[in-house]
Every structure is written in C-alpha cells, then in structure tokens.
C-alpha cells in the first residue's frame, strides 16, 4: 500500500457514502447499527435533495390509489419500467411518507389537517406532498439532519471525498477517502452503501449542484459493478435562463405549471397546445424537446407565472419567486425566460429490489442507482420517493445480512491517482470541455455522428487529464484542492464516456433518449441495457 494512505481504520460500521435523502434515510433506518456517513460537502446539508422543490409523490389523496400511481409511472417510463418494482414503489408510498412524517417533516397541510397534495405533469391526480411550498428539500433535509445529530450510532465524516472501492476476492472491503485536512484514509468495511446522487453536472446546463458529477457511478464502474439505463438522462424543461458561466441553473418547479403557469414563445403564443394534448402538463421529455427545438434556433421561450399570481397561488412558490427576483425579473409582471437543463439520471448502478448491486457487500440507493422504476423517463416527484423507499430497503437488507468476515485485511487501494504535476487550470479546462461536449452531442437531441464525435474526444480528454500509478498528496496538491478536483474530473469523464456509449448503442428514440437518426420507438429495443466498464474498454 502506498505511503500516502495514512491510516487504515478497521471498521465494523456500515459505510454510507452521501448525505442526501438516500444516505441519511439509510443511516437513520440502520440505527442502532453503527454507521459512518461520508460526504464531500462541508456539512451534511448538500446534494440535490436539499434543492428539491415540488415534493414527494404518494398515492394518498381522495380517489387516488397505488394502482393509478403505478399506471402513471409506467406510462411516463415509455415501456422500460419494471412493472413489479413500480407496483411495490407505489404500494409502499403511503408507509414511506408516514415514516418521514414520524421523523417530524413539516409537510404542508390543508385546512382539515391532512397533507396538502399538488398536481404535477403526467400525474392524473394531485399526489405530490410538499413542505414550505416549493422548499420541500430544505425542510426534509433539516428534519433528517436534526435526527442524525440525535443518533449516536451515526458518525459523520464531512468534507471527505470517497476515492475508490476496495475489493477483495470479489467482496467489498471498504474504500479510500480523502480530506484536505487528513489526506488519504482507508476505511475498511464489508458493507458499503453508495448514495452519491446524480450526474447532472456532466452537462453545461444543469439544475444540479456542480458536485453532482457522477462520483458514485464511476467508483462502482471501476470496481466492476453492472450499470444500466445510462442513456436515459432527464432534462428539466424550465430552468431559469440566466448567464451563469457554467454554474447551476435555478429550477422553476413543474408544480408551477400544475398551478396554471403557461409556456409562451417569443410571440406570446402557447406553443405546447400544438405539441401535446396535455399542453403544459405533457410529460417532461415532450415539454423539454419542444423548448429545446425553439432555443437551438435562437428563439427564447418563457414561463409565464402571472396566472399563478392571479389565482392567488404564488404563496406556494416562495423559492421560484425569490430566484426570479434575485435574477432581476418581476414574475408578477413579466414572463421568465427558460431553458431545458440536465436534471435527473434514470440510469445508474443496477440494483435489485433490496438495493443490492452486482458486487457482494455493495448496495446503492437514490439517484446513483437504477432500480427499474423510472424506465426511460421519470415521473415527476417519484425520485424522492424512490430514494426513500430503497434507502429503507437497503438498511433492512443490511440488518438481516450476515456480516462477511473474509474482508478487512488483504485488499489494496485501487490505482491510479492524481499526477504529481497536476495543474488546476488544465483540469478545469478538461472539465469545461467535457460538459460542453455532453451538452452539444449527448443532450436532448442526439445523433450517431454527434455521439461518435463526443466518444472520440472524451477518450482524448481522459488521456489528457492523465493519472499516476500511485496516489500523490503533496503540499501543493493539497493546498490547491487538486486531489478532489482531479478525482471529480476523472469520474465525470468516465461517466460521460459510459453515457455516450450507451446512447450510441440505443438506436431508437424512447422517453428521454432522442436520436435524430433513429426518430421512432423500435419494439426490438424495448428492454433495459446493462453496461460495464470492461465493455466500454472493449469498444475502444
Ligand atoms: C433543483 C432540483 C429540484 C428537484 N426537485 C425534486 C422534487 O421536487 N421531487 C423529486 O422527487 N425529485 C426532485 N429532484 C430530484 C431529487 O432531488 C434527487 O433525485 C434526489 O434528491 C437524490 O437524492 P440522493 O440522496 O440520491 O442524492 P443527493 O441528494 O444528490 O446527495 C448526494 C450526496 O452524495 C455526496 N457525494 C457525492 N459524491 C461523493 C463522493 N465522491 N464522496 C463523498 N460524498 C459524495 C454529496 O455530498 C451528497 O451528500 C430535484 C432535483 C434538483 C436538482
């Protein structure tokens, strides 16, 4: 083992990587079993979960049923959902929401005290529970973080970047982790849960936090885990279009359209009326494509919130109003310019109904996993539900699994690592080009030619980024934060290459995956596709 790995912690704890909804719910559900939660953010508050707006779907309203919720989910999934997991997800939604209520999550209520439900695109009934209007993620995460603080079985390692998994005799044996304060550490554990969130920051326009660059997906891929559905990236139709030089774009929640907000073109006309029978409430991919078709030819598209104000419903959207005002708009008087942006990854590490991956000892839950419930297109607000449902199932499975004893001694950290002469500007240039390539060629509208161009250039960028055969940790690398910067760039590139490969392979258009050279759904492609890093290597 390299000298720069400073200490090896022999650990009986379950290691949970990620402190979003999936990670914290899993850690809490495992209590009193000892858990170490690792998160790369400076505090527990981070990830997309904190930013979630619309809410969490649950079939609890009058006239609703798990069957109807399942039907909407299957329809949105464009033929690629796994029906059984979908039925189980919607069947358990009320119980899982109740768990959050019992933890103290302050969901909004109607006058009779029952949980208020909003209607979102492609849901046939109001079904989305929310908190603080459109500040659901904030209230949810506050509740979970408070609970974690009061749970002595949970140890938190914040500001700590998970490097690579340790694998010994095909069994997980822990992982390497880096913090600027203490350098590299080896954490030994036969039970690791990846809850590292999504990959939106692999694209230039994204609603995700910029550190949502696919670390967990890349880490699992390098360890040999089976991934699936990688080509399916959902683009949110309505990110506020502001000049932001690659920073995250503020989201204008779908629930605004559920409350009456309208999409207008430059002439003030409701173009969605001509695109889909459900107009503004059409499935996300349909709306995103309709917007994209206009913005790529230089037109501006607007979201008009004035009907929401006229109906007196603006009080439910404090975040949307605040972000618009912060950007210099007055949503009471003027429509807001919007653009479609990378938002949610349906694909991920393939798991079974218990959240087990193909590697013994490795579980995954939340956006980093693919469970089959979203198919080719996620139904709005089903992702928080999925993250919560599977986080609790993973905890249940680990609690009932025998602790494997083989692990803990012999594995060596995965190599390679950051080159000694790494340069900040070079790494940042590689990152920006990766994101630009993904937006240009692996975005809402794809073609075989564009995907080939992206695949070749991404491979060149990977070579340009370079790597060393041993983990370096000089004073300079540490001071400049280059170990993590380089680690994220490497992960982003691998994820970009995997997604591009999967998109090139699927020669049809379905759900969120749209190919101009294969514009139709093809029945022979109505199945999910797995991918491993070994297959990617073989292809080049
Ligand atoms: C703006 C926005 C609004 C949304 N609104 C909704 C909504 O209303 N309803 C809905 O259902 N879904 C919504 N989504 C999607 C939903 O929020 C996410 O899918 C969900 O929160 C993902 O939860 P998670 O726990 O899997 O990941 P996250 O919440 O993203 O958490 C990931 C965690 O992993 C950590 N991490 C990542 N890599 C590493 C590493 N290498 N080392 C250590 N730690 C690491 C991060 O620090 C973070 O703590 C929204 C998403 C966005 C971006």
292-325 pLDDT, tens digit per residue, is 999 989 999 999 999 999 999 999 899 899 999 9
Cross-strand pairs, 236: 341
Segment 214-236 shows an average pLDDT of 97
Q: Which is it for strands 161-168 and 171-179: parallel, antiparallel or unpaired?
A: antiparallel
- Quote the pLDDT of residue 414: 65
Q: Determine the 3-state secondary structure of 282 from DSSP.
A: coil
Q: Find the 461 Cα to ligand 1 centroid distance in Å.
A: 27
- Quote the pLDDT of residue 412: 63
| Residue that has been written with the tokens 């936090």 in this structure | 209
CB atoms within 10 A of CB 278: 14
Q: Cis before residue 416, ω within 30 degrees of 0?
A: yes
Q: Which atom of ligand 1 is nearest the CA belonging to 208?
A: 53
Q: Tell me how far apart the alpha carbons of residues 31 and 115 are, in angstroms, rounded to a whole number.
A: 27
- Quote the pLDDT of residue 246: 84
Is pLDDT above 80 for 411? no
Sign of CA dihedral 69, 71, 76, 80: positive
Q: Find the 209 Cα to ligand 1 centroid distance in Å.
A: 8
Q: Whose CA is nearest to atom 10 of ligand 1?
A: 381
Q: Find the 58 Cα to ligand 1 centroid distance in Å.
A: 19
Instruction: Point out the least confidently predicted range of 9-23, 247-261, 329-343, 394-408.
Output: 394-408
| Residue that has been written with the tokens 């991404």 in this structure | 458
Q: Which atom of ligand 1 is nearest the CA belonging to 381?
A: 11
- Quote the pLDDT of residue 170: 85
Q: What is the pTM of this model?
A: 0.95
CB 204 within 8 A of CB 339: no
- Quote the pLDDT of residue 490: 96
Terminal CA-CA length for the chain: 31
Is pLDDT above 70 for 471? no
Q: Find the 24 Cα to ligand 1 centroid distance in Å.
A: 11
Segment 323-351 shows an average pLDDT of 96
Q: Which residue has the higher pLDDT, 254 or 264?
A: 264
With the CA atoms of 143, 124, 70 and 101 taken in that order, what torsion angle do they form, in degrees rounded to the nearest 10? 20
Closest to 355 measured CA to CA, from 402, 400, 390: 390
Ranges of H-type helices in 44-155: 66-76, 83-91, 93-103, 136-149
- Quote the pLDDT of residue 109: 97
Is pLDDT above 70 for 502? yes
Q: Tell me how far apart the alpha carbons of residues 243 and 106 are, in angstroms, rounded to a whole number.
A: 35
Does residue 344 have its Cβ closer than 6 Å to ligand 1? Answer: yes
- Quote the pLDDT of residue 3: 40
- Quote the pLDDT of residue 2: 37
Is pLDDT above 70 for 406? no
Does residue 23 have its Cβ closer than 6 Å to ligand 1? Answer: yes
Q: Which is it for strands 233-240 and 362-364: parallel, antiparallel or unpaired?
A: unpaired
Q: Which residue has the higher pLDDT, 282 or 106?
A: 106
Segment 51-69 shows an average pLDDT of 96
Q: Give the phi and the psi of residue 263 in degrees, each rounded to 5.
A: -95, 130
Best mutation site among 16, 17, 18, 198 for ligand 1, i.e. most ligand atoms within 8 A of its Cβ? 18
Q: Which is it for strands 35-38 and 14-17: parallel, antiparallel or unpaired?
A: parallel
- Quote the pLDDT of residue 242: 86
| Residue that has been written with the tokens 């230039």 in this structure | 204
Closest to 390 measured CA to CA, from 4, 23, 11: 23
Q: What is the pLDDT of residues 166-189, one digit of tens each?
A: 998 889 999 999 999 988 888 989
The helix-helix angle for 83-91 and 93-103 (nearest 10°) equals 40
Here the tokens at position 252 are: 């204008």
Q: Which atom of ligand 1 is nearest the CA belonging to 134?
A: 8
- Quote the pLDDT of residue 119: 86
Q: Whose CA is nearest to atom 35 of ligand 1?
A: 18
CB atoms within 10 A of CB 284: 26
Q: Tell me how far apart the alpha carbons of residues 338 and 235 are, in angstroms, rounded to a whole number.
A: 12
Is pLDDT above 70 for 229? yes
For 329, residues 6+ apart whose C-beta sits below 8 A from its C-beta are 336
Q: Which residue has the higher pLDDT, 274 or 10?
A: 274
- Quote the pLDDT of residue 6: 46
E-strand ranges in 169-315 read 171-179, 183-188, 192-194, 227-228, 233-240, 262-264, 301-304
Segment 47-61 shows an average pLDDT of 95
Mean pLDDT (the chain, rounded): 93
| Banded model confidence at residue 518, pLDDT cuts 50, 70, 90 | very high
| Banded model confidence at residue 148, pLDDT cuts 50, 70, 90 | very high
Closest to 468 measured CA to CA, from 490, 488, 494: 490
Does residue 370 have its Cβ closer than 6 Å to ligand 1? Answer: no
Does residue 175 have its Cβ closer than 6 Å to ligand 1? Answer: no
Is pLDDT above 60 for 497? yes
Q: Find the 272 Cα to ligand 1 centroid distance in Å.
A: 29
Q: Tell me how far apart the alpha carbons of residues 31 and 187 are, in angstroms, rounded to a whole number.
A: 20
Contacts 24+ apart (CB under 8 A), 420-423: 420/468, 420/472, 420/474, 420/477, 422/466, 422/477, 422/482, 422/486
Q: Find the 21 Cα to ligand 1 centroid distance in Å.
A: 7
Q: Give the phi and the psi of residue 43 in degrees, each rounded to 5.
A: -130, 180
Instruction: Point out the least confidently predicted range of 27-36, 99-108, 115-124, 502-511.
Output: 115-124
With the CA atoms of 171, 533, 364 and 486 taken in that order, what torsion angle do they form, in degrees rounded to the nearest 10? 100
DSSP symbols for 303-343: EE-HHHHHTT-GGG-HHHHHHHHHTT--TTTSPEEEEEEEE
- Quote the pLDDT of residue 462: 95
Does residue 394 have its Cβ closer than 6 Å to ligand 1? Answer: no
- Quote the pLDDT of residue 421: 86
How far, in whole angstroms, is CA 110 from its chain's centroid? 30
| Banded model confidence at residue 4, pLDDT cuts 50, 70, 90 | very low
Q: Tell me how far apart the alpha carbons of residues 69 and 91 are, in angstroms, rounded to a whole number.
A: 9
| Banded model confidence at residue 126, pLDDT cuts 50, 70, 90 | very high
Segment 469-483 shows an average pLDDT of 80
Segment 432-457 shows an average pLDDT of 97
| Banded model confidence at residue 416, pLDDT cuts 50, 70, 90 | low
Which active-site residues does the annotation give? Answer: 284
């Amino acid at each position: 083992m390299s000298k720069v790995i400073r200490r090896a912690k022999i650990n009986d704890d379950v290691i949970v990587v990620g402190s979003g909804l999936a990670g914290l719910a899993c850690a809490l559900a495992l209590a009193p079993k000892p858990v170490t939660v690792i998160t790369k953010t400076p505090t527990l508050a981070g990830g997309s979960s904190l930013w979630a707006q619309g809410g969490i779907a649950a079939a609890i309203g009058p006239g609703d049923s798990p069957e109807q919720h399942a039907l909407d989910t299957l329809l949105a999934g464009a033929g690629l959902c796994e029906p059984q997991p979908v039925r189980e997800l919607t069947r358990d939604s009320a119980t899982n929401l109740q768990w959050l209520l019992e933890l103290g999550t302050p969901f909004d209520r109607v006058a009779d005290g029952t949980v208020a439900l909003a209607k979102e695109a492609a849901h046939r009934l109001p079904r989305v529970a929310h908190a603080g209007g459109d500040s659901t993620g904030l209230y949810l995460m506050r509740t979970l973080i408070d609970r974690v603080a009061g749970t002595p079985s949970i140890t938190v390692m914040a500001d700590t970047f998970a490097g690579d998994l340790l694998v010994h005799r095909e069994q997980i044996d822990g992982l390497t982790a880096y913090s600027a304060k203490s350098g590299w550490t080896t954490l030994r554990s036969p039970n690791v849960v990846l809850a590292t969130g999504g990959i939106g920051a692999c694209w230039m326009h994204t609603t995700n936090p910029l550190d949502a660059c696919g670390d967990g997906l890349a880490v699992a891929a390098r360890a040999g885990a089976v991934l699936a559905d990688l080509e399916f990236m959902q683009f949110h139709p309505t990110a506020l279009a502001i000049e932001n030089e690659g920073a995250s774009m503020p989201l204008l929640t779908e629930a605004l359209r559920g409350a009456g907000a309208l999409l207008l073109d430059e002439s003030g006309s409701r173009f969605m009326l001509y695109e889909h029978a459900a107009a503004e409430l059409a499935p996300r991919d349909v709306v995103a494509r309709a917007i994209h078709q206009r913005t790529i030819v230089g037109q501006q598209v607007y979201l008009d919130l004035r009907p929401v104000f006229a109906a007196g419903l603006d009080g439910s959207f404090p975040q949307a109003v605040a972000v618009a005002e912060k950007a210099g708009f007055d949503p009471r008087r003027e429509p807001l310019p919007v653009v479609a942006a990378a938002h949610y990854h349906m694909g991920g590490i393939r798991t079974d109904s218990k959240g087990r991956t193909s590697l013994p000892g490795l579980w995954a839950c939340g956006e980093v996993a693919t469970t089959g419930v979203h198919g080719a297109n996620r139904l709005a607000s089903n992702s928080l539900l999925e993250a919560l449902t599977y986080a609790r199932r993973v905890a249940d499975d680990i609690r009932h699994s025998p602790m494997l004893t083989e692990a803990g001694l012999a594995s060596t950290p995965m190599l390679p690592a950051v080159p000694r002469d790494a340069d900040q500007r070079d790494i940042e240039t590689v990152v920006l080009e990766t994101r630009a390539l993904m937006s240009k060629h692996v975005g809402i509208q794809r073609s075989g030619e564009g995907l080939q161009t992206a695949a070749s250039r991404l491979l060149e960028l990977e070579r340009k980024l370079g790597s060393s055969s041993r983990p370096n940790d000089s004073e300079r690398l540490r001071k400049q934060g280059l170990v993590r910067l380089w680690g994220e760039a490497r992960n982003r590139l691998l994820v970009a290459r995997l997604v591009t490969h999967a998109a090139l392979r699927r020669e049809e258009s379905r759900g969120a995956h749209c190919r101009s050279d294969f514009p139709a759904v093809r029945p022979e492609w109505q199945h999910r596709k797995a991918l491993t890093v070994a297959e990617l290597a073989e292809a080049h």
